[in-house]
Chains A and B, each alone.
Chain A
């Protein structure tokens, strides 16, 4: 009997372990080794930390790196600010009958690939795009303006892409918030602001943190949206990695960048958990 259970356990755990080891652990070890090696002109490779030193010596690299981090944090905060009222509306304001329907509406755009959605935005926003066309027709503009290829558009695109990953955890935590807590606070003299700060946000903290982790990671590692919607100055760090691997064919440098990005995301998430006093084990539940 006991033996049987153990066999079943082995059968179910093996694909997971294989997947983790072959597709995650092994390539990362390879990348880590690669990031500490350089090739000289002849093609002999030797151990070195110069890949990492390059990152600090070349301002363009660490500037892009900081920029990516700061923008990712900004996008995460903006996504939260946009998502909280949406989640609150769906869980607390709307009639229970429409909750599923509204959540569905929210999900629907995500059935389409990110690439298609970004192209959708581009059709709307570009110089000869839909919005410019209407603004010209109504006479609000004399000259069409380029709304693409700047930081604002890029941030908007990233917020749009990440929305769902913030709204869903928020809906689930707000659903578990007893309405009478809000009423009790209201009864005890609280206004909307203090109810939000003292009751809703503390209660939603696990959802906020898990949503933020997902949104932050997705944004930090996003390649498509910054590349297509951002301008020449909106360089994202993933593009640097791409350039090293594909354009410069310098895999050693690229893997060093990859590891730096991994380090950065882990660091920011660790700091976020520390700041909000949440535990990772509790958040991922």
Chain B
């Protein structure tokens, strides 16, 4: 498998501030690679360095084994889809798409056929003569994608292009973008702060925080097996506790979380007795009124504070007895739990395998 994009030890400093801190990753050909991080984590700076608008302070960026550092954006085999699309309002859809091809000096006839072919590919046949302001948000999105894809870039960079769309359209474009990428087979590097976008579309996701990559993995692994506390908290929802290891029996540790409650956990990484740890638990890992026959559960009673109905994503907000702590529990919509009301007292439990803990360091 050829590596389309290789970023090696790239660092970007703005005077005192380090925006991107020693980041390395490789993207194989045809991969949909996402960089997921909160705003201000340096992901846009990283993308702009790949596109060529900013030069890294140190490190190397290679595309198909060719070093890109020092090469201006118009000479790089990458194209960028901007956050606000940056379609040229003074040109028609067709002229927008033809712009790059014409700059490359392609023949008139070739440009015409390519523009028509790409418009059909993105589902906008016959839109060539329309003005940009005649298009809807979703259609503009597609024109922006077509304008970059028609250049046949080695790597297509996308800077949160779905951010401006409304929810329904965003869900739709997510699926469409994924399908389109599979069809054309171009390598996509996609940056976003929306974890759902990253998880749904990507083959691999890098989670970025404060200029560093926390973890690069498949979406499944990122969700089920986060390597750092930041990833556990940022990707998907989690109930978080901080606590102290009070006892270790075989490979099971007992953790005292605040409010005097203790949980038993089989940790995936070694934790030493007495150390401070962060404990994370997915809402769907908590069982409501678990079967009494199940052993190895942390069972405790809670008071239902609110029922947050959201279709398949419905949850219960509960407080453990004698505690203000809020815990989110997934509420399966199979009508089995319809009897639960606010202020009910119910028993919940979670498997000692489901808790994820990390040393807090301090």
Stretch at the interface among A127-135, A161-169, A175-183: A175-183
Min CB distance A282 to B, Å, is: 14
Cβ distance A47 to chain B, nearest Cβ, rounded Å: 52
A189-B74, A189-B103 given; 11 more Cβ-contact pairs under 8 Å: A181-B86, A184-B88, A186-B72, A186-B73, A186-B74, A187-B80, A188-B74, A188-B147, A188-B151, A190-B74, A191-B74
Q: Is A173 on the interface with B (CB-CB < 8 A)?
A: no
B168 within 8 Å of A (CB atoms) = no
A136 adjacent to chain B (CB < 8 Å)? no
Task: Decide if A183 touches B100 in the complex (CB within 8 Å).
Answer: no
In the complex, A185 has a CB within 8 A of chain B: yes
Q: Judge if B309 is at the interface, Cβ distance under 8 Å.
A: no
A279 interfacial by beta-carbon distance below 8 Å: no
Per-residue contact bits, chain B 88-116, to A (CB 8 Å; 1 contact, 0 not): 11100000000110011000000000000
**Minimum C-beta distance from A181 to chain B (A):** 5
Residue B25 at the chain A interface, CB threshold 8 Å: no
Q: Which residue in chain A gives the minimum CB-CB distance to B157?
A: A187
> Inside 8 A of A203's CB, which chain B residues have their CB?
89-90
State A275–B88 Cα separation when bound (angstroms): 22
Chain B residues with Cβ below 8 Å from A183 are 53, 73, 80, 82, 86
**CB-CB nearest in chain A for B95:** A198
- Asked whether any CB of chain B lies closer than 8 Å to the CB of A199, the reply is yes
Say yes or no for B348: interface residue by CB 8 A criterion. no
Is residue B130 contacting chain A, with contact meaning CB distance below 8 A? no
Which residue of chain A is the closest to B105 with respect to CB atoms?
Answer: A189
With an 8 A cutoff between CB atoms, is B79 at the interface?
yes
A180 near B86 with CB under 8 A, answer yes
Q: A194 and B82: CB pair below 8 A?
A: no
Q: Which residues of A contact B151 (CB under 8 A)?
A: 188-189
Partner of A184, one of B72, B80, B90: B80
User: Quick check: is A231 within 8 A (CB to CB) of the other chain?
Assistant: no
Chain B residues near A272 (CB, 8 Å)?
none
B157 to chain A, nearest CB (A): 9
Distance of B155 from chain A, by nearest CB (Å): 12
**Contact residues of A: prevailing secondary structure:** helix
Contact of B79 among A178, A187, A199 (CB under 8 A): A187
Instruction: Please tell me if the beta carbons of A185 and B79 are within 8 angstroms of each other in the complex.
Output: no
**Known contacts A180-B84, A199-B88, A194 near B79 by CB under 8 Å:** no
Q: Decide yes or no whether A27 CB sits under 8 A from chain B.
A: no
* Interface, chain A (partner B; CB < 8 A): 178, 180-181, 183-191, 194, 198-199, 202-203
A191: B residues at CB distance < 8 A: 74, 103
Given A180-B82, A198-B99, A187-B88 contact (CB < 8 Å): no
**Cβ-closest chain B residue relative to A184:** B86
Complex A-B, nearest 10 residue pairs according to Cβ-Cβ distance, in ascending order: A188-B100, A184-B86, A180-B86, A189-B103, A202-B90, A189-B74, A180-B82, A187-B73, A190-B103, A187-B80
Give chain B residues whose Cβ lies under 8 Å from the Cβ of A199.
88, 90
Contact B88–A189 (Cβ < 8 Å)? no
Contact of A185 with B84 in the complex, beta carbons under 8 Å: no
**Which residues of B57-80 have CB atoms within 8 Å of chain A's CB atoms?**
72-75, 79-80
Determine whether the beta carbon of B74 is less than 8 Å from that of A181. Answer: no
A-B contact pairs, 6 of them (CB 8 A): A178-B84, A184-B86, A188-B79, A189-B100, A190-B99, A203-B90
Q: Which chain A residue shows the least CB distance to B104?
A: A189
Which B residues are in CB contact (< 8 Å) with A187? 51-53, 73-74, 79-80
Name A194's closest neighbour in chain B (CB-CB).
Answer: B103
A185 touches B99 (CB 8 A): yes
Residues of A within 8 A of B100 (CB): 188-189
Cα A203 to Cα B87 with chains together (Å): 13
Residues in B with CB closer than 8 Å to A202 are: 90
Please indicate the chain A residues that have their CB under 8 angstroms from the CB of B103 in the complex. 188-191, 194
| Neighbouring B residues of A181 by C-beta, 8 Å | 86, 88
Known: A189-B103, A194-B103. A184 touches B82 (CB 8 A): yes
Q: Which residues of A contact B89 (CB under 8 A)?
A: 203
Docked complex Cα distance between A203 and B147 (Å): 19
B144-194 residues at the A interface, CB under 8 angstroms: 147-148, 151
Minimum distance in angstroms from A83 CB to a CB of chain B? 21
Q: Give the distance in Å from the alpha carbon of A198 to the alpha carbon of B96 in the complex.
A: 11
Of all chain B residues, which has the CB nearest A179? B86
Once bound together, how far apart are the Cα atoms of A178 and B83, in whole Å?
A: 12
B147 smallest CB distance to A (angstroms): 7
Q: Which residues of B contact A189 (CB under 8 A)?
A: 74-75, 100, 103-104, 151
Tell whether A178 pairs with B86 under 8 Å between CB atoms, given A186-B72, A188-B147.
Answer: yes
Q: Which residues of A contact B74 (CB under 8 A)?
A: 186-191
- Tell me the smallest distance from the CB of A146 to a CB of chain B, in Å: 48
Contact residues in A for B147 (Cβ distance below 8 Å): 188
Q: Give chain B residues whose Cβ lies under 8 Å from the Cβ of A186.
A: 53, 72-74
Chain B residue at smallest Cβ distance from A202: B90
Shortest Cβ distance from B2 into chain A, in angstroms?
A: 23
B226 to chain A, nearest CB (A): 34
Bound together, the chains give a CA A250 to CA B190 distance in angstroms of: 77
| 8 Å CB interface, B273-319 against A | none
Q: Which chain A positions have C-beta within 8 A of B82? A: 180, 183-184
Contact residues in A for B148 (Cβ distance below 8 Å): 188
